[in-house]
Amino acid sequence: MSNDTTTLSKREALESLLSQGDVLIQLDPRADGVVVPPDLSGQPLLVLRIGLDMPVPIPDLDITDQRVQATLSFNREPYHVNVPWNAVFGMVSEAGQGLLWTGDVPVEVMEQMLQMSRHDGEPGDGDASEAPDAEAARGPRLVAIDGGRSREADEEPPPRPDGPPTLKLVR
């Protein structure tokens, strides 16, 4: 995958990331058609780990143009999940490559991301733990992007485009 904005479908993006290892899928479990354990269905963000070569294999992983479905383990109990693409807004590979569809991010999650961004930009109190290396030690994270630049915390989210969704690789 390249760093340029592409017109990859979410399916194509997932298949590409899966070829590199496990993938964390960020989704809104409240969206129509999502089937996950009931105790996880009311929150605005759910992260599912899927892979082609996981320690506990997923023999029924099925990725189509409409959705991802598989039997996953929740607290060591199998549960058949169904995730339509309209619910998916982000993916991160185990290698740290991330994709974020900003137009699909739930409002609550976007607000939380902006809040975190706001706190990341505040100067520290001189504590050595906030040295530049401390940020690198936190590891990869999703960042809201708009037109190739990070959005400032006090800006409004961009309006949803009328055309097909696009994505951008976030490193």
Per residue in 76-133, pLDDT (tens digit) is: 899 999 999 999 999 999 888 899 998 999 999 988 888 888 776 655 444 443 444 4
Q: Which residue has the higher pLDDT, 162 or 127?
A: 162
Fold of 10-170: SH3 type barrels. (2.30.30)
Indicate if the pLDDT at residue 143 is higher than 80. no
Beta-carbon contacts of residue 16 (< 8 Å; ≥ 6 apart): 1, 8
Are 20 and 27 within 8 A, CB to CB? no
Give the span between the Cα atoms of 5 and 40, in whole angstroms.
32
Q: Stretch 32-52: mean pLDDT, rounded?
A: 95
Average pLDDT, the chain: 77
| In the chain, where the domains are located | 10-170
Rounded CA separation 123/135 (Å): 13
**Paired tokens of 41:** 């269905």
